[in-house]
Structure 1
Amino acid sequence: MSAAISEIPLPQSMLDTDLYKLTMQQSVLQLFPDVQATYRFKNRNLDTLFSRQCIERFRTAVSHFATISLTDSELQWLKEVCPYLTLDYLTYLSSYRYKPEQVKIKYIPVTSDNLKGQVEIEIVGPWVETILWEVPIMACLSESYFQSVVVDWNYDHQDELAYSKAKALLEANCNLSEFGTRRRRSFLAQDIVVQALVRASKEIPSTGGLAGTSNVHLAHKYNLVPIGTIAHEWFMGVAALRGYEGANTTALQLWEEVYSEPPLIALTDTFTTEAFIKDMMSNPDLAHRWTGLRQDSGDPFAFGPRVKKMYQSLGIPNDSKSLIFSDSLTVNKCIEIKKQCDELNFNKVSFGIGTFLTNDFRLASTGEKS
């Protein structure tokens, strides 16, 4: 199966995004409806250069985002599957339209022929509106890149590759979720992965399983649980608005004003894990109420022991809490983390796996890893 290079890489649906963008948008709508926001893209790998063709394709795609809207069937599904999304918010989401005029895209040539360069992206507008841009626009940029710059690949054996990864994880009794929207090679690549995960979860005996996917559209399509609660953006936004001292505590308390029911999964590393644990130790009621923690940077093997020590000092049985790992995971890394967590008596452990599933390809010309 060849990689399609002619299609404009648009989101497949208003729900072709990660769940935490919806939950955070609802929180912003309720608590910060008038706040203005500015987003800027930072390319963390300066060796990655974009072609002029890539950026023009990307620019064209962004101009078509305004055509996307929530369908009646999607609205009904959200009401049934996501009861934490209020009627007021769903009414807002139904009327929501992307505004491409909020997005400024600048191509900056760096090669002598002006054909390769960097891209600057700036998104400005009300936070409640601009919050939905991040995930689909990053997916769109990634897809444009792999349609225009790195093109020596195809979909051959992608189903088998994803299935083999799921099989190894399930045989190790791991719980896993698919988290690969932002850095997917294409929507079809992500769709193939999710289908393979579903098939493996039905065929491989395991005390683990497929918990779901962060992509709300694919959760809808394959009758899965949409997974995700909160991202770094919430902590950063709250800190900017309410102050950086004790920002973790403030962000969690504000979140509870919108979501009073578990599961409440806290992201721990926005201002370093050390700062997060310090804030939790100073507010033990939060540590009791929040049902789990997500590790997304740093040493995952230092995280479990550190968190167990925190819970023990607060008199909280650590086997009652969930741990979610989501930082640059591979099969072997998940299995080793699971082994350590078993030894630490963390019984509720899950792995959110992204790029390793949705952007792990081989060169079509040689079969070597791209």
Structure 2
Amino acid sequence: MSASLTDLAVPLSILDTDLYKLTMQQAVLQQFPNVHSTYRFKNRSISTLFTRQSIERFRTAVSHFTTVQLTSAELSWLQAACPYFTSDYLDYLSTYRFKPEQVKVNYIPVSADQLQGRVEIDVVGPWVETILWEVPLMACLSESYFQSVFTDWGYAGQDELAYSKAQTLLSANCHFSEFGTRRRRSYQTQDIVLQALVRASREIPSSGGLSGTSNVHFAQKYDLTPIGTIAHEWFMGVSALKGYERANVTALKLWEEVYTPGTAPLIALTDTFTTTAFFKDFASDSELAHRWTGLRQDSGDPFTFGPRVKEMYEALGIPHASKTIIFSDSLDVDKCLKIKKQCDELGFAKVSFGIGTFLTNDFRVASTGEKSKALNIVIKLASVGDKPCVKLSDDLTKTTGDQDTVDHVKRVYNLSA
């Protein structure tokens, strides 16, 4: 990879993505290999504008994604580190190439000089191919923004800051993972952060620890466990194709056809159509609840989640202490410590935290010392098989997708407007 491509935020590796993109790609390859899809970008902060220069930089970077491919060393590592990947899938990934023509970028100027504006991004193509675009596209757009729009920042102190955060978490005996690829300030930032986390985990005694990273490339680079199983888009896509009645159960059982219980961690994401809807589905199948090893909270109030999980498992006759509970929504150190305290009091023995932007995009404005905000951006599955996909979430500001379908899901699960 030439220096110029690195400067353009082109991924250094096809594994520079979150693990659940690969696990979901394998599932789509097996279950829905011929389904067409559309992904759509959303900037949740409407006051944040991009410059024409930053979007041109982003477009140029996207055109160079064709240079990224799985290496023989990466293939060998995946075979050893992720035994749940089949030979058929690894053969597919070995031949996979990004197709920039699948990415449609539209810059919409809003300033009088047309140099500042908004951006629309759609990714269109077979689901099994387009599924890998989301994470590196977001990381590339974020890095392009901080390279050319907001540049009043630097790397000084990032190592010490990340080490200090890890020290506090380890001293409190927290288990935690790094989840910050999508909205990182840069590849270099994530590299600095992970080096500091690894160093702290080796130097600071703790009954907790650094569990790993969601970034597969960095897991290989620093001999860490790649973390992650399943994301919202699996539930979104499956329900659009199979129907919304008991949608969560349908999605989980299809997942089990790909990942036999015991071959890979089965951690269910609870909030695609609200946690209320998930618990209604999940509790209706006690055998399924027994098989899945844990649950992940990603929106809403984390302090109501633990008590609800405990109550559900107790109602099913399942020891809640035997199950993993993971938190991954907008975490910082203080929130992790408070959640852990509550979970300890509730009797959960397996609690972990997936910490993202707080680790990989925590900067100050160099000239003023004020907080420098990360971009609040997402890329979500918009349709599969020409059917709209929606995500309700436990946070109303995160609801995305076709309003008629959102209203339909609310009726299915008797959710308030």
Q: TM-score range by the shorter chain?
A: over 0.9
Show the counterpart of 1:131. 131
Distance (whole Å) between structure 2 residues aligned to residue 6 and residue 147 of structure 1 = 12
Show the counterpart of 1:121. 121
Show the counterpart of 1:310. 312
C-alpha offsets along residues 286-325 of structure 1, whole Å, 9 cap, x if unaligned? 1100000000000000000001000000000000000000
Show the counterpart of 2:350. 348
C-alpha offsets along residues 91-142 of structure 1, whole Å, 9 cap, x if unaligned? 0000000000001100001112211111000111000000000000000000
Specify whether residues 288 and 66 from structure 1 end up closer, same or farther in structure 2 by C-alpha distance, changes over 3 A only: same
Alpha-carbon shift at residue 5 of structure 1 (Å): 12
Distance (whole Å) between structure 2 residues aligned to residue 175 and residue 93 of structure 1 = 31
Secondary structure of the structure 2 residue equivalent to 1:41: strand
Show the counterpart of 2:216. 216
C-alpha offsets along residues 336-367 of structure 1, whole Å, 9 cap, x if unaligned? 00000000000100000000000001122233
Match among 317, 323, 326 for residue 325 of structure 2: 323
Aligned length: 367
Secondary structure of the structure 2 residue equivalent to 1:140: helix
Distance (whole Å) between structure 2 residues aligned to residue 261 and residue 276 of structure 1 = 20
Match among 270, 274, 287 for residue 289 of structure 2: 287
Say whether the 8 Å CA contact 2:5–2:61 is kept in structure 1: no
Show the counterpart of 2:303. 301
Show the counterpart of 1:168. 168
Contiguous gaps of at least 5 residues in structure 1: none
Distance (whole Å) between structure 1 residues aligned to residue 257 and residue 291 of structure 2 = 13
Secondary structure of the structure 2 residue equivalent to 1:139: helix
C-alpha offsets along residues 242-292 of structure 1, whole Å, 9 cap, x if unaligned? 011111000000000000134200000000000000001111111100000
Residue 66 (structure 2) pairs with residue 99 (structure 1): no
Distance (whole Å) between structure 2 residues aligned to residue 366 and residue 237 of structure 1 = 45
Distance (whole Å) between structure 1 residues aligned to residue 203 and residue 285 of structure 2 = 44
Say whether the 8 Å CA contact 1:5–1:147 is kept in structure 2: no
Q: Which moved more, 1:292-301 or 1:278-287?
A: 278-287
Show the counterpart of 1:275. 277
Alignment of 1:5-20 (within 5 A): 7-20=7-20
Say whether the 8 Å CA contact 2:326–2:351 is kept in structure 1: yes
The aligned amino acid for 1:327 is D
Structure 1 stretches of 4+ with a deviation exceeding 3 A read: none
Alignment of 1:132-281 (within 5 A): 132-262=132-262, 263-281=265-283
Distance (whole Å) between structure 2 residues aligned to residue 318 and residue 227 of structure 1 = 22
Show the counterpart of 1:110. 110
Distance (whole Å) between structure 2 residues aligned to residue 117 and residue 284 of structure 1 = 51
Distance (whole Å) between structure 1 residues aligned to residue 214 and residue 244 of structure 2 = 29
Contiguous gaps of at least 5 residues in structure 2: 373-417
TM-score by length of 2: 0.87
Say whether the 8 Å CA contact 1:338–1:349 is kept in structure 2: yes
C-alpha offsets along residues 41-79 of structure 1, whole Å, 9 cap, x if unaligned? 011110111010110000000000011000000000000
Percent identity (aligned): 74
Alpha-carbon shift at residue 6 of structure 1 (Å): 8.8
Distance (whole Å) between structure 2 residues aligned to residue 321 and residue 340 of structure 1 = 16
Alpha-carbon shift at residue 368 of structure 1 (Å): 3.0
The aligned amino acid for 2:320 is N
The RMSD of aligned alpha carbons is 1.1
C-alpha offsets along residues 224-252 of structure 1, whole Å, 9 cap, x if unaligned? 00000000000000011101111100000
Distance (whole Å) between structure 1 residues aligned to residue 135 and residue 356 of structure 2 = 13
